[in-house]
Amino acid sequence: MLEGVINARDLGGIRIGNKTVRSGLLLRTAHLNEATDEDIRHLSEDLHLKKIFDFRTLQEASSQPDRPVPGAEHILLPTLDLEAEKRSGEAVPQDVFLNLPAHIVRLSFMNIFKEKARQLYPSLILSEFSQLQYASFLNLILETEEGAVLWHCSQGKDRTGIGAALILGALGADKETIIEDFSHSNDIYRPVVDKFVADVEAAGGGEEEKEVVRAFMGVSVKNFRHALDVLEANYGSIPGYLEETMGIMDDDLDVLRRRYLQD
């Protein structure tokens, strides 16, 4: 879809019941720092991009700033609560956080990172801080009556994947459809994951350590499925979660479905 942006895809064409998602309107990607001139032209002129939602931390966004897209508003909505991690004593040093591939083999043997791998997706769903960011994301999409919207984090897989899951759930997608979209990030990152899994194995790591690599270098479908189970146990469904935590009501869901679904 884009030449210089990794893990870029359109939710268009995903089947939801007897309808499909319209193409060219709901875009999920990694950061736009390396977008080509043609990518920028395509987003601006062909897709009429109106909003870019950046789920990265301020430090991430500053280190690899998005290229501006004419006609599109850039909105920073960091979904990770770094201050809470600092208070708990579990914050990752900034130089490590900004360059995980250089450290992932060592980190995979640390218990704190094994727990972070298990809790990343549930924390993005259950944290009030994250909920506020995703609420802003969905409400701003509701306000965008024309043109495309795009959301991303650094790699376009975890924080971006949760955003896609909330949108697909709002549109009425079932759990397996949501998981299938989430898992496609592994198609992109599999060579990287396989390399680091082999490195971990060579260092004496087992399945638990490999799962850390899968979670941070790709996506952990097992952990994501667990996070959706946690959401359902607490809220019944994604629409129930959106209503209770974000104030997204049935009328709002109707607006999204009329706008983004077609027969």
Whether 28 maps to a domain, the answer reads yes
d(CA 165, CA 167): 5
pLDDT in tens, 29-75: 999 999 999 999 999 999 999 999 999 999 999 999 999 999 999 99
* Domain span at 211: 9-262
CATH number at residue 132: 3.90.190.10
pLDDT in tens, 154-185: 999 999 999 999 999 999 999 999 999 999 99
Whether 2 maps to a domain, the answer reads no
Q: Residue 162: is it exposed, middle or buried by C-beta count within 10 angstroms (0-12/13-18/19+)?
A: buried
Whether 154 maps to a domain, the answer reads yes
Whether 44 maps to a domain, the answer reads yes
Whether 24 maps to a domain, the answer reads yes
Which whole-number Å values give the CA distances from 175 to 14, 34, 179, 255, in the listed order?
A: 13, 33, 6, 21
Whether 90 maps to a domain, the answer reads yes
pLDDT in tens, 197-254: 999 999 999 999 998 999 899 999 999 999 999 999 999 999 999 999 999 999 999 9
Provide the number of structural domains found in the chain.
1
Task: Give the chain's radius of gyration (CA, Å).
Answer: 18
3-state secondary structure of 113: helix
**Which secondary-structure segment (H or E) carries 53?**
strand 49-54
pTM of the model: 0.92
Whether 177 maps to a domain, the answer reads yes
Whether 211 maps to a domain, the answer reads yes
138 CB contacts (<8 Å, ≥6 apart)?
Answer: 166, 167, 170, 242, 246, 248, 252
